[in-house]
Amino acid sequence: MRHSLKATPATVHWGHLQADLEPRMQVRSGDYIEIETFSGGRADLGGDLSIVAPAHRDIIESVMPMDGPHILTGPIAVEGAQPGDCLEVCIEDIRLGADWGYNLIRPGRGTLPDEFHQPRQNTFPIDRGRGITRLPWGIDVPLQPFFGVLATAPPPEWGRVSSVPPREFGGNIDNKELIAGTSLFLPVFTEGALFSAGDGHAVQGDGEMDVTALETCMDGSFQLILHPGRTLDAPRALTPTHLITMGFDTDLDEAARQASHRMLDWLTSLTGWSREQAYIFSSLACDIRITQLVNQNKGVHAMVRRDLLNLKDPIIP
């Protein structure tokens, strides 16, 4: 079955995630859902609301931001989901929802917090037909849209948490590899899973250096598939070309260790190799990449090409 969830003041939560949010919709495992998301508050847009859709304006004028900057659509409950399950989020399609995107420099933030002392807000045009954004100094940057935030709800005992740091439930992962055709596997920590999406990025470099990508409005088509009893400790992804494991920590070395450890776990379970064999293979064929450096918890992802493994069975955690 197919569903649709538009972004309105009644269907979004701004800047936070929590297990006791009321679901905006309930679906069954295997159902498809079209989700509309908006990005940007009044300050993010330089005070200019003339460019936003009416529903986006309604959200800005009536919903109170709490803890973080991300306007998230949801949550969506998946019938039968229980703590200890895994939710597979199949990203069927991603569509840009605006002809503009914004980028911010926030003093004291980003990878070079001591170098840039003046706040900057820039809004750049998006050419959806050509798939580019043109920067004022004459550079065309090809677009690669993805959702920065894809999340289940955090454990109930955590209470309300900010949408900024990526954590075990996903959230602000900011992994540019999560393109259309990807399956993202998220741990379930509460009844119904409570899936939310937002933080559309038209394009971003690994690292997200100045603290924002090209932030924009975005619509997505997802299939939500429940895997009962398949317990994960962190998100994993299967892209059209790669297996990806992830690590998040305030220390970049620890994030890299987590992503590497999880890749060995996945490889040994898929192939039957010993842990030593997986370690050797990974040293030859696994790429360790920085996801982002700017969201309190730093992100690292490990990538292995699918075609190297020659697996015939479906690849699931």
Taken in order of first residue, the domains within the chain and their CATH numbers are 2-100+145-227 (2.60.120.580), 241-308 (3.10.28.20)
Name the average pLDDT for the chain. 97
Q: 189 with 152: CB under 8 angstroms?
A: yes
Q: What is the pLDDT of residue 272?
A: 93
**pTM, full prediction:** 0.97
> Quick one: average pLDDT of 49-76?
97
Q: What CA–CA distance (Å, rounded) separates 316 from 135?
A: 40
pLDDT tens-digit profile of 71-99? 999 999 999 999 999 999 999 999 999 99
pLDDT tens-digit profile of 202-222? 999 999 999 999 999 999 999
